[in-house]
Chain A
Amino acid sequence: MATKKKRTPNVQNDSWVVIAADSAIDTQKHDSDPTFVRLRNPSTDAASLYLLGSGDVQLYEVKAFQEDFRSWFVGQSVQRDGRLMFVTPMDPLYLILPYLIKSGKEGKFQPLDQVIMDEELPACSRLLSCTRSLSSLHHIAEEKEVGGQKFHRYSQERTMNWLKKKVERTVVALKKTNISVGEGVKSTTYVRVKSESGTHEEDYLRYAHGLISDYISEDLSRALLKHLGLPELTSPKETEPPSKKRKLSDKPVEAGEDYTKFNSADFARKPSKKMSAAQKSLAKVDKTGMKTMSSFFSPKVKTEKK
């Protein structure tokens, strides 16, 4: 039975299925509850959802596993939204970085609370409460202290070294978790007899770079690639072999067959046949308003589309 089903309109969701780190929901140490906040995604430059743990001490990113045709049975109810959300710890430096880079263009040392500002997404200032933020800022910025107040300035060199370390640590994690980084898809259920020989160190490095690139701007991603000593991949179009051309040879071009006989003088055209009686009578018929046979085979005149 192929009945078309109507989609019922989405109803407001008031619950979600979430997997979160224990630390994310721990409210014992601080008075404020963990909250979902919208912050600027450094990779897309648009707002994305993040979670700040209680007391804004730790930043978490929110990712959703989402496929078509999924729903949840939760206790005694059904939840239409079949997503599975993951709340995983994240280094706040990634989110601070774009603001620092922007103010760094002026080349001045500035107090952080003047740098981390966003009219559209005011929650960004809360990033500074994260314990990791201030203590690890030296990875991406130079620091100056004047009269008890700290001033920062973006450093490309430090950032590159920091990101390189991130890539290297990602490589270690990739190897540990047995993630397929090579070309093509590897089935986890397929057991190889020989150990993986096709994946090189560069594959891991490139994969890790790609992963980190999901957390930084495109410009930084390109700079990081250079810093890692990886050549930029050429697009597959350019690596395609050139289309085959006919080989040129020195020999004069000659026709494979002799077509001249039809053009020669002694080639007599057959006289056109005389029309039969029936053909003659047909020819006399009044043809006004009739279409020629060939007109039925010519392309249609396009009618205007609605």
Chain B
Amino acid sequence: MDLKPFEADNSVSCRLTSPIPDVCRSEDCCLGVDEAGRGPVLGPMVYGICFCPVSKKEELKNLKVADSKTLTEAERENLFQNLDEASSYVGWATEILSPNTISVSMLQRTKYNLNALSHDTAIGLIQYALDCGVQLKEVYVDTVGPAEKYEEKLSQRFPGINVTVRPKADSLFPIVSAASICAKVTRDRVVKGWNFAEELGDVDTDYGSGYPNDPKTKAWLLKYLDPVFGYPQFVRFSWSTAQTLMDSKAVTVHWDDDEEDGEKAAQRQNNRSMLSYFSASAGANNQNPSHQTHRFFTERRLRSLDTLEV
């Protein structure tokens, strides 16, 4: 697995792929989708697919791939090695969604939530396999959100392919287990060698599991909180753990689309709230009502000052 393409710029997403086995182009194939690193506040989320001919399902079972969560890191590395060696009939691909991508998606003006991001990434990887000429007939997916809805969405998106969405699919179908191992191994390797874009000096990498409830992770988040910038790009800003810490410890930053309500906010934004239309002194907030600045200035947000102070 060559991580260089991602390490060159870990602020964006990156796809890593294996060569496509020839049999996958000629025989009916099954494909498994799984993800790793959905919950942590640190590091990327990785989506993995694994595919092989339907006829080779038994051989895949013999590789003893199992749900990645039940395995140690060394066992996972071993199994990934096995998968890579079975390259005559097994192919894989992983998509690394950098923490920065996750933060930006979830916090942008039109919110793009984690489920939608997950679904789209899964769809992208399945489409990638199709584009490479893999003869997909069966797709197995570990669920994100309600299974029926997700299954319907994927079936509609890929007509002609039998889509099965199940919770715990990674322990039910070997091809999903294989995908989960690819995803997990990729994530482990990426996190281990994380290249901090920020000038942090010798970064303390003892941040524990990266999950919000891990005390080590919390301590790390406190240590690397910058009052102005918040966190390095390694942290998912959209996680409430990160947001709560920034709200209490960092400088308050106001954005254009902050949700604020009430008369005060309206006044500050220079809008008139609905209520003001019903009160007696509607619109009389201009200090000097007789003077109106010309629209040349108001359109350009230009105004005279009476003092240099804000």
Asked if A68 meets B256 with Cβ closer than 8 Å, knowing A8-B251, A48-B304, A81-B310, the reply is: yes
Report whether A63 and B306 are in contact in the complex, using a CB–CB cutoff of 8 Å.
no
Tell me, yes or no, whether A146 is within 8 Å of chain B by CB.
no
- Bound Cα distance from A116 to B137, whole angstroms: 91
Report whether B297 and A214 are in contact in the complex, using a CB–CB cutoff of 8 Å.
yes
- Bound Cα distance from A46 to B251, whole angstroms: 36
CB distance from A91 to the nearest CB of B (A): 16
- Bound Cα distance from A48 to B295, whole angstroms: 19
Tell me, yes or no, whether A44 is within 8 Å of chain B by CB.
yes
Residue of A nearest to B269 (CB): A68
Tell me which residues across on chain A come within 8 A of B243, comparing CB atoms.
1, 3
Tell me, yes or no, whether B71 is within 8 Å of chain A by CB.
no
Tell me, yes or no, whether A259 is within 8 Å of chain B by CB.
no
Tell me, yes or no, whether A245 is within 8 Å of chain B by CB.
no
- Bound Cα distance from A49 to B256, whole angstroms: 29
Asked if A7 meets B305 with Cβ closer than 8 Å, knowing A63-B297, A218-B290, the reply is: no
Tell me, yes or no, whether B222 is within 8 Å of chain A by CB.
no
Asked if A63 meets B302 with Cβ closer than 8 Å, knowing A44-B288, A210-B296, the reply is: yes
Report whether B302 and A65 are in contact in the complex, using a CB–CB cutoff of 8 Å.
yes
Report whether A38 and B247 are in contact in the complex, using a CB–CB cutoff of 8 Å.
no
Tell me which residues across on chain A come within 8 A of B306, comparing CB atoms.
38, 46-49
Report whether B308 and A214 are in contact in the complex, using a CB–CB cutoff of 8 Å.
no
Main secondary structure of the interface of A (DSSP, over half): loop
Report whether B296 and A211 are in contact in the complex, using a CB–CB cutoff of 8 Å.
yes
Q: Which residue of the partner chain, among A38, A78, A207, A210, contacts B228 with CB atoms under 8 Å?
A: A78
Contact flags (1/0) for A206-219 with B, using CB distance below 8 Å?
01001101100010
Contact flags (1/0) for B207-251 with A, using CB distance below 8 Å?
000000000000000000000100000000000100100010001
- Bound Cα distance from A12 to B307, whole angstroms: 13
Tell me, yes or no, whether B4 is within 8 Å of chain A by CB.
no
Q: Which residue of the partner chain, among B252, B291, B301, B307, contacts A8 with CB atoms under 8 Å?
A: B252
CB distance from B279 to the nearest CB of A (A): 13
- Bound Cα distance from A56 to B277, whole angstroms: 48
- Bound Cα distance from A134 to B135, whole angstroms: 90
Residues of chain B at interface, number, CB under 8 A: 35
Report whether B305 and A49 are in contact in the complex, using a CB–CB cutoff of 8 Å.
yes
Number of A-B contacts (CB under 8 A): 88
Report whether A63 and B304 are in contact in the complex, using a CB–CB cutoff of 8 Å.
yes
Asked if A64 meets B259 with Cβ closer than 8 Å, knowing A6-B252, A8-B251, A46-B288, the reply is: no
- Bound Cα distance from A158 to B256, whole angstroms: 49
Tell me which residues across on chain B come within 8 A of A62, comparing CB atoms.
304-305
- Bound Cα distance from A47 to B308, whole angstroms: 12
Interface residues of B in 249-283 (CB under 8 A from A): 251-252, 254-256, 258-260, 268-270
Q: Which residue of the partner chain, among A69, A86, A179, contacts B302 with CB atoms under 8 Å?
A: A86
CB distance from B270 to the nearest CB of A (A): 8
CB distance from B273 to the nearest CB of A (A): 16
Report whether A61 and B290 are in contact in the complex, using a CB–CB cutoff of 8 Å.
no
Residue of B nearest to A80 (CB): B310
Tell me, yes or no, whether B192 is within 8 Å of chain A by CB.
no
- Bound Cα distance from A86 to B293, whole angstroms: 17
Tell me, yes or no, whether A2 is within 8 Å of chain B by CB.
yes
Residue of B nearest to A170 (CB): B296
Tell me which residues across on chain B come within 8 A of A13, comparing CB atoms.
308-310
CB distance from B222 to the nearest CB of A (A): 19
Residue of A nearest to B254 (CB): A69
Tell me which residues across on chain B come within 8 A of A78, comparing CB atoms.
228
Report whether B256 and A69 are in contact in the complex, using a CB–CB cutoff of 8 Å.
yes
Q: Which residue of the partner chain, among B254, B256, B303, contacts A63 with CB atoms under 8 Å?
A: B303
Asked if A10 meets B310 with Cβ closer than 8 Å, knowing A64-B305, A86-B302, the reply is: yes
- Bound Cα distance from A80 to B309, whole angstroms: 12
Q: Which residue of the partner chain, among A2, A12, A47, contacts B259 with CB atoms under 8 Å?
A: A2
Tell me, yes or no, whether A43 is within 8 Å of chain B by CB.
yes
Tell me which residues across on chain A come within 8 A of B256, comparing CB atoms.
68-69
Residue of B nearest to A62 (CB): B305
The 10 A-B pairs at the shortest CB distance, nearest first, are namely A2-B259, A49-B305, A210-B294, A48-B304, A63-B302, A214-B294, A69-B256, A81-B310, A44-B291, A5-B252
A63-B305, A81-B310 known, 14 other contacts, Cβ within 8 Å = A2-B259, A6-B252, A8-B251, A8-B252, A10-B310, A36-B308, A49-B308, A62-B305, A63-B302, A64-B304, A66-B303, A68-B269, A69-B256, A214-B294
17 A-B pairs whose Cβ atoms sit less than 8 Å apart in the complex: A2-B259, A5-B252, A5-B254, A5-B258, A13-B309, A36-B308, A49-B306, A62-B304, A64-B304, A65-B301, A65-B302, A68-B268, A69-B254, A86-B302, A210-B294, A214-B293, A214-B294
